[in-house]
Amino acid sequence: MFVRQSGLTGAIQVPHGPPRPAGFVVFGAALAVASLAGPARGQTPPSTSPSPSGSASPAGPPGGYPPSMPPSYPPPAPSPGYPPNGAQQGQPPPPQQPNYGQPAGFGGYTEPPLPPPPRRSELSWSIRFQMLDLLFGRATGEVEYAFAGPFSVVLMPEYVFANPGQDRAYGVTASGGGLAGELGFWVEGRPLRGYFLKAHAGYRSIKFKSSVDEVSVPATQIGAMFGSQSIYGGWFTLSGGFGVVYDFQSQDRAFAAIHPTGGPVRYTIGASGLFGNGFDLLSQLAIGGSF
């Protein structure tokens, strides 16, 4: 295959087909190279079509992030259809109406506090009877009054109908009476309830008699006691405690009696106290009512 160029016309002749001008061939080759080079570099021609009315083309850097606005950029206008904020226009905000019927903390409404519970009525008086003293031949009553706060005062009259020192075999009997008082402090702060400390002071006189003689045995006692008192059913009272007392008139006393065989004998009443030294136990086990 060969190509022949004519010197007169500048046309290129090939074995097959009509001759074409050389300038037409060069222009077509340049246009093809230009069209292939543009898409290879990833360039796209800018769009010349106008944007639709009412919408603005988004502006910003590639990647979809919004551009940073300068400090002097004006704030966006409020959306149409919503009432303007009164605080932004310099007007005071409208007062809020309380929202009743909702739990506290919702809608700006708080329920009022509950009223305080009614104060419990304290006891003022207590009347009791000593059960334990019956074992020692004494009938003792107690009248107690709470006069101020946790303090109370007790008055205890007693009647003595027997005594361990008597002996009917010798014809010796005992009887007498006494009066004692106590000042109580209620540890838990409520009078006539709970634990207490009481100071005790009392006087007792017992007369021992035989068929031929008699003698009076006085006792002046001072001591203290610790115990507790419980209330059941609002009024029934159970009180108990233990303590110690000292008798300032503790001593042996003797008088004449008749021996069971018929002869006279000297009968001795021993000094008070567990060991005859004046110190004795003070006990309480009483029942009664309080109001």
Tell me: the pLDDT tens digits for 63-99?
Answer: 444 555 555 555 555 555 555 555 555 566 666 665 5
Residue 67: phi and psi, rounded to 5, are -70, 150
- Confidence at residue 41, expressed as pLDDT on a 0 to 100 scale: 47
Whether 96 contacts 110, CB under 8 Å: no
106-165 pLDDT per residue, tens? 556 688 888 887 766 789 999 999 999 999 999 999 999 999 999 999 999 999 999 999
Pair 128, 156: CB distance under 8 Å:
no
Report the DSSP beta bridge partners of residue 197: 185, 226
> What integer pLDDT is reported at residue 277 of this predicted model?
94
Q: Which of 247, 240, 258 is nearest to 206 (CA)?
A: 247
CA atoms within 13 A on the CB side of 72: 0
Cα 291 to Cα 288: distance, rounded to the nearest angstrom: 10
Which residues, other chains included, contact 137 with Cβ-Cβ below 8 Å and sequence gap of 6+?
160, 161, 162, 163, 164, 174
- In this predicted structure, what is the pLDDT of residue 92? 66
Residues 6+ apart with CB under 8 A from 196: 152, 184, 185, 186, 187, 226, 227, 228, 229, 241
End-to-end, the C-alpha distance of the chain in Å comes to: 143
pLDDT higher than threshold 70 for residue 29: no
Asked whether 200 and 177 are in contact (CB, 8 A), the reply is: no
CA separation for the pair 186, 198 (Å, rounded): 9
| Residue 195 pLDDT class (50, 70, 90 cuts) | very high
Rama region for 17: left / alpha / beta (φ>0; ψ in -120 to 50; rest): left
102 vs 161, residue with greater confidence? 161
Q: Which amino acid is at 83?
A: P
Domains and CATH numbers, the chain: 125-290 (2.40.160)
Task: Specify which residues 290 forms β-bridges with.
Answer: 126
Spatial strand order in the sheet of 11-13 = 4-5, 11-13, 20-21
Nearest to 171 by CA among 251, 271, 265, 253: 265
Task: State residue 91's pLDDT score.
Answer: 64
Q: How many CB atoms lie within 10 A of CB 162?
A: 14
Please report the pLDDT score of residue 60 as a whole number.
Answer: 46
Distance CA 50, CA 162 (A): 130
CA distances from 145 to 128, 200, 224, 289 (A): 12, 15, 18, 12
